[in-house]
Amino acid sequence: MITLQAITLQRGKKLLFDQASAAIFAKQKVGIIGVNGSGKSSLFSLLLQKISPDGGDVYVQSNIRIAYLAQEVPNTTISALQYVMDGDVELAALMQQLKKAEENHDGHLVMELHNRLYEVGGYTLESRAAKLLVGLGFRIDEQQKAVNAFSGGWRMRLNLAQVLMSRADLLLLDEPTNYLDMDAIVWLERWLQNYDGTLVLISHDRDFLDNVAQKIIYIGNLKFETYTGNYSSFERQKAEKLAQERSLYEKQQAKI
């Protein structure tokens, strides 16, 4: 699904990646880790084609739906429920077409659109959105409140709910547990565990990575290092690798 081949990337005067390579396959759940400034967010920008590498190739499978957790929420007066429903772009477009067809009294098109909505689960749109909001901590009576009536942290939860609503083939989540309490984090873990698409997430929450990630890509020394398993598995493998490198170095020094 995603191939990063010999990627070189410089941002300003800082070199982030130098001939770095990695691959992410369909339906994998991958955690991206590295120290601050190592290039995690820049990697997302590459995947979203917001920037281009200075060298190498980025391949993302075509004809797939990609959803990305935005860090800003528009100052809109639409309801929280409607904002989340709009995350399912395909269904939202069909609903708009249906509304116009009804206004134009186009009976044939109205019937056709109703059939299409039924085929893609359009009549569960509102209940799906409501369940996401409840899972992320919103009370039922808050779902009709305007988006701009919520504080910044709760607006970020709305962004997360909208992304989860998208039915995307590829989810890109940058620090999704920010602003979430423990109940919401546990709910999100379960949702992502059951998610049937490909997940790539950036997180500093080790417990969250342990419970969700099946593969870790560590960004260090300008390279991508891939480890099978969750965060705890990565730590064990990384420690073993460092111990082997240290042992080899000491043996080489002993021969000098």
pLDDT band per the 50, 70, 90 thresholds, residue 203: very high
Other CB atoms within a 10 A radius of the CB of residue 117 amount to 18
Give the whole-angstrom CA distance, residue 222 versus residue 39.
9
Residue 142 has a pLDDT of 97
- Give the domains, in start order, of the chain with CATH numbers: 1-64+169-256 (3.40.50.300), 73-167 (no CATH)
- Helix, strand or coil, per DSSP, at residue 69: coil
Torsion of Cα atoms, 4 then 6 then 12 then 14, to 10°: 110
Fill in the amino acid letter for 183.
D
Residue 256 has pLDDT above 80, yes or no: no
Q: Are 32 and 80 in contact (CB under 8 A)?
A: no
pLDDT at 120: 80
Average pLDDT over residues 107-114: 92
Find the mean pLDDT for residues 145-160: 96
Q: Kindly tell me if the per-residue pLDDT of 237 is higher than 90.
A: yes
- For residue 49, give the DSSP letter: T
Residue 143: φ, ψ to 5°: -70, -20
Yes or no: say if 206 and 231 are a contact pair by the CB < 8 Å rule: yes
How far apart CA 38 and CA 16 sit, in angstroms, is: 6
For residues 141-158, average pLDDT: 96
Do 22 and 224 contact (CB within 8 A), yes or no?
A: yes
- pLDDT at residue 254, rounded to an integer: 83
Read off the pLDDT of residues 210-220 as tens digits, 9 standing for 90 and up.
Answer: 999 999 999 99
Q: Is the pLDDT of residue 77 over 90?
A: yes
Beta bridge partner(s), residue 201? 31, 173
CA distance 235 to 109: 57
CB atoms within 10 A of CB 231: 21
Q: Compute CA 154 distance to the chain's CA centroid, rounded to the nearest angstrom.
A: 18
* 113-143 residue pLDDT tens: 999 888 887 788 899 999 999 999 999 999 9
Phi–psi pair at 135, nearest 5 degrees: -60, -35
What's residue 70's pLDDT? Answer: 85
Does the structure show a pLDDT above 90 at 198?
yes
Global pTM?
0.90
CA 73 to chain centroid: 16
Phi first, then psi, for residue 224 (nearest 5°) are -105, 125
DSSP states along 61-93: -SS--EEE--S------SBHHHHHHTTSHHHHH
